[in-house]
Amino acid sequence: MCASTSRLLDAIFAVALAIPLSVTGIFTFANSAQATSFTGEFQLNGGFTSSPPIEETSLVELSAKSLIFSPQPVTPVALSAQTGSFTSFNSANIGNVISFSPLSADNPFIDFGKTLLPGIIQSSSDTASITDGINTFALKSANYALKQSGANVAIDVALYGLFNSADGTKSQGAGNLSFQVNDVKVANVQSILNSGGSVKNLAFAGALFTTTSVPEPTTILGLGILGAALAISRRQKNQDNSIDITEI
């Protein structure tokens, strides 16, 4: 047993010597960063800006090619039902524009932080943590669909992207935004969009969640090192066993 353990340690040490110390140092950092990646989920709804000269509810405008959020340059949203990492935040700033086909967005699309009251900006100091570019969600894919819901048209926007924690660790994420146009048919809304028009002043809500963490390249490298060491140890063990059998 001791000899087997010794061979495993020797194998790991031998493989590690082939890797520059700078790389193994990055590998150690990547493992520690992995533990701080975003986890959990949250719901959001439009906030309110009462900081002069702006006093306005956060709203969205939909055209065939884009979503435009207002007020600008900061559109506050309130977070609720947070779990996991998101319990540290009560507010966020949502990016001002999503353009469809091809997709482009103001990234970070969501910047998480805290305000005195969830989703409410009362002074310029309230925007500090929700515009600092730390703890964010970067949008990578988005599309929308129109659906008749009784006398209203429900609009659902699917979102996919990456959560970025303060130390740069990434987690995959997904979710949606939803809003509606009252007392209208899908065909009417589609006609407005197709003609180059838009539907404006829409209140919005949504929810996002983390799916899986995105492995750092150095983490994958580290797993390869360990796998190589185990393979060497297993091969040495098999060779030793065959020698023992021959000697019997």
Please report, in tens digits, the pLDDT of each residue of the chain (248 residues total): 545 555 544 544 444 444 443 333 333 333 433 447 899 999 999 999 998 888 999 999 999 999 999 999 999 999 999 999 999 999 999 998 889 878 888 899 999 999 999 999 999 889 999 999 999 999 999 999 999 999 999 999 999 999 999 998 999 999 999 999 999 999 999 999 999 999 999 999 999 999 876 655 554 455 455 455 445 555 554 444 332 323 33
Domain interval for residue 95 = 41-195+203-213
Range 14-20, long-range pairs (CB < 8 A, 24+ positions)? 14/229, 14/232, 15/225, 15/228, 15/229, 15/232, 16/225, 16/229, 19/221, 19/225
Q: 116 lies in a domain?
A: yes
- C-alpha 101/C-alpha 103 separation (Å) is 5
Q: 242 lies in a domain?
A: no
Determine the pLDDT at residue 103. 83
Q: 231 lies in a domain?
A: no
Tokens 């790991």 belong to which residue? 12
Q: 234 lies in a domain?
A: no
Task: Choose among 74, 76, 87: nearest CA to 42.
Answer: 87
Q: 245 lies in a domain?
A: no
Determine the pLDDT at residue 21. 36
Q: 129 lies in a domain?
A: yes
Determine the pLDDT at residue 220. 47
Determine the pLDDT at residue 188. 97
Q: Number of folded domains in the chain?
A: 1
- C-alpha 160/C-alpha 144 separation (Å) is 12
List Cα–Cα distances, 243 to 5, 46, 225, 236, 237, in angstroms: 19, 73, 27, 11, 10
Q: 230 lies in a domain?
A: no
Going 219 to 225 to 227 to 230, the CA torsion angle's sign is negative
- C-alpha 71/C-alpha 126 separation (Å) is 15
Amino acid identity at 172: Q
Q: 157 lies in a domain?
A: yes
Tokens 């990456």 belong to which residue? 162
